[in-house]
Chain A
Amino acid sequence: MDIGGEHGLSVDLGGLAQLTRMQEGIVRAVDACAVQLASDDLCRWADDGPVHRSAVATAEQLRELAARFRSCGIAVDAVAADLGRANRAFAESEGVAVHSIAGADR
């Protein structure tokens, strides 16, 4: 779609669909990353002493990072959903426009 002027727009619907899928892929990767970072299996280097304290501190940092990845995933997911809605709206508009043009041709 490409219409010039102040209110014009140009959008590649195939590209937009691909972009939406990419964002969805990023959401999955970010979520998986958050799950791994928050895993209880990590940072079990020692049961006591300074190494244990460092392990606990590291685990806390990893959990905090996991929470931030989770938040980021939610934000990316929202953008992906918006892109998906935009794509459907553009596709619908295109369909309506084609129908209108076809009607005018009759």
Chain B
Amino acid sequence: MTLLPAAETAEVRPPENQSPRGPSSAEGFVALIAVCRELGLTSIDDETVRRPHRRVDEFRHAHFSSDALRLTRLAESLAQAADVDGVGETSVAEWSGRAGRAAGGALRVVGDELAGLRARLDAGAEATAQADAILREVLGRHRGVLATVSRPRLAGYDLEALPAALNSGALSPHSLRGEVQARLDYAESAGVLAGDAIAGVAAEVATAWSVGAGSADAGSAGELILADLQ
């Protein structure tokens, strides 16, 4: 038995500022908050700032989008192949006698089975594509909120001008703390809402595939979240 050094057997973990998927989407905001912390405007730590966005960071939207596209194309290609069925039925309808009746019966059985499976594939692919569109918007708005709260300008002052403004008394630390806290709250709620939307929409996609045609409304949860993120 060969013993590996501890470094080779240890679980590989991403650095603190990264989710398993890479840097946190909130890194720009984390950097701003770090400056605010140095100025005594907040005591919140970096990890607490990142935490609400963890589920967003861990979600691989590119994979989800790729799946949605693949499944849609799959449903389309199968529809093209199976759409010749009508021609086949005409041919068999002109085939009389016992053999014709037997062939017609066999074709109907397999045709019905295939139609049922196609309906399920179509419904699932459509629900996944709808979910993808909703998630794209949810993530876009989440990015928008983070861009807004990360703007390096507080109370009308650029970040680098803040220390001087505070020292001169031109700015009250109390009002600045209020603005920093408001940004923290806004970012946190955006992260939580986006995370909830991702989880909700993914769950509805799973349900859409399990129940088959016409039973899933993959948009509902995500659309409600979108309204909250406005």
Contact = CB atoms under 8 A, between A and B. Distances in A.
Contact of B198 (A33, A51, A75): A51
Contacts of B94: 10-12, 15
Given A29-B77, A49-B55, A57-B206, A8 B96 contact: yes
A55 B199 CA distance: 10
Contacts of A49: 55, 58, 199
A36 B205 CA distance: 18
B224 interface: no
Interface residues of A, number: 47
Interface residues of B, number: 48
Contact of A19 (B92, B109, B199): B92
A19 B20 CA distance: 53
A30 B63 CA distance: 24
Contacts of A75: 109-110, 113
Contact of B67 (A19, A28, A42, A72): A42
Contacts of B64: 45
Given A29-B81, A46-B58, A9 B96 contact: yes
A50 B202 contact: yes
Contacts of B198: 51
Contact of A9 (B77, B88, B92, B97): B97
Interface string A3-29: 000011111100110110011011011
**Majority secondary structure, A binding face:** helix
A57 B113 CA distance: 23
A43 B121 CA distance: 15
**Majority secondary structure, B binding face:** helix
A75 B109 CA distance: 9
Contacts of B77: 29, 32-33
B106 A54 contact: no
A19 B91 CA distance: 7
Contacts of A12: 91, 94-95
In order of increasing CB-CB distance, the 5 nearest A-B pairs are A9-B97, A29-B81, A54-B202, A61-B209, A15-B91
Given A45-B67, A62-B209, A79-B106, 14 more contacts: A8-B96, A15-B94, A19-B88, A28-B81, A29-B82, A30-B114, A33-B74, A33-B78, A36-B70, A51-B59, A57-B210, A72-B110, A76-B114, A83-B103
10 contacts: A11-B94, A18-B87, A30-B78, A43-B67, A46-B58, A61-B124, A65-B117, A65-B124, A69-B117, A76-B110
Interface of B: 20, 55, 58-60, 63-64, 67, 70-71, 74, 77-78, 80-82, 84-85, 87-88, 91-92, 94-100, 103, 106-107, 109-110, 113-114, 117, 120-121, 124, 198-199, 202-203, 205-206, 209-210
Interface of A: 7-12, 15-16, 18-19, 22-23, 25-26, 28-30, 32-33, 36-37, 42-51, 54-55, 57-58, 61-62, 65, 68-69, 72, 75-76, 79, 82-83, 86
